[in-house]
Amino acid sequence: MITDDIISNSYALIVEVPVRNWEDTHVNAVADISGELIPCRQGPLWAPVIELGTGHILNWNESAPTEVRVHYKVTDEGNYWLADQALNKIAKWRDEYVPDHILCTADRGYGDYIIMQIESGGIIKNWVPPILDEQDWNPLK
């Protein structure tokens, strides 16, 4: 069982998701056909690190595009971790589905999609700091 310390020490969400269709995302109103335009790409993964309190993507390149509409189908293949302020992973998302209540700020993702708009500087539009439920996370040792 997760402890209150893990919830209270959660500073960021580390996301690592394989993307099925890069072209469904638009960067500065251009379809990102091969996934080469999107910041936070690591090989076949999209891997943003999101500050929970603000919705700021911490590993967003400040010279990156100014407007991004993310619409990634990841289905049941993503990994999501809570991290402390030093970005040490402290808990892993228990479910195999996308945590919609955190990663779908622009539309419903139904557990299969990440859907959001990202503005200049890597700020997720309409971000609301998530309420973390201890039952959704497995603590890491």
Residue 41 CB contacts under 8 Å (≥ 6 apart), including other chains: 35, 47
Mean pLDDT for the stretch of residues 4-31: 93
pLDDT tens string 50-94 = 999 999 999 998 777 678 999 999 978 899 999 999 999 999 999
| Best CA proximity match to 89, nearest among 125, 137, 42, 57 | 137
Domain membership of residue 141 (yes or no) is: no
The model's pTM is: 0.94
Under DSSP, the state recorded for 46 is E
Domain membership of residue 34 (yes or no) is: yes
Domain membership of residue 102 (yes or no) is: yes
Number of domains in the chain: 1
Domain membership of residue 103 (yes or no) is: yes
The predicted structure's pLDDT at residue 75: 77
- Asked if residue 113 lies in contact with residue 73, where contact means CB atoms within 8 angstroms, the answer is yes
Mean pLDDT for the stretch of residues 92-106: 95
Residue 8 CB contacts under 8 Å (≥ 6 apart), including other chains: none
Domain that holds residue 59: 4-136
